[in-house]
Amino acid sequence: MNAEEQERMTRLLKAALPPVGNDEPGRDVWPAVLKRMDGQAAVPWFDWALLAGLLGLTALAPASIPVLLYYL
């Protein structure tokens, strides 16, 4: 693609998609940010399930404790 074709494509692109400029959000997004952060703090259910499984295993077979500690 030569310089002239490049220039033509640039012009075409600018005509098809004009700049949007600077704008501001239509709503206050701070509450949504806080909500997103709360979601991050929550422990996923499978972590709780894993913990429950490990506790169950140690209760039923205490001999497994050294093995688990070895792999920690």
Partner 1 sequence: MENEEQDVLIQFQLGSMEAFETLFRMHQRAVYGWILRIVRNAAAAEDVTVETFWRIHKAHARFEPRRGFAPWARRIASHAALDWLRAELPARETDSEMMVEDLAAPAAADAAVTAEIRAKTALAFGRLPPKLRIAATLAVVEELPAREVADALGISIAAVKVRVFRALRLLRKDLQGQGMRP
Interface residues toward partner 1, by CB under 8 A = 1, 5-6, 8-10, 12-27, 29-30, 32-33, 36-37, 40
58 and 51 Cβ atoms separated by less than 8 Å: no
Please say which residue, 33 or 51, places its beta carbon nearer to partner 1. 33
Give the nearest distance from C-beta 64 to partner 1 in angstroms. 35
Cα 27 versus chain centre, distance: 22
Sign of the dihedral defined by the CA atoms of residues 44, 45, 46, 47, in that order: positive
The CB-of-34 to partner 1 minimum distance in angstroms stands at: 9
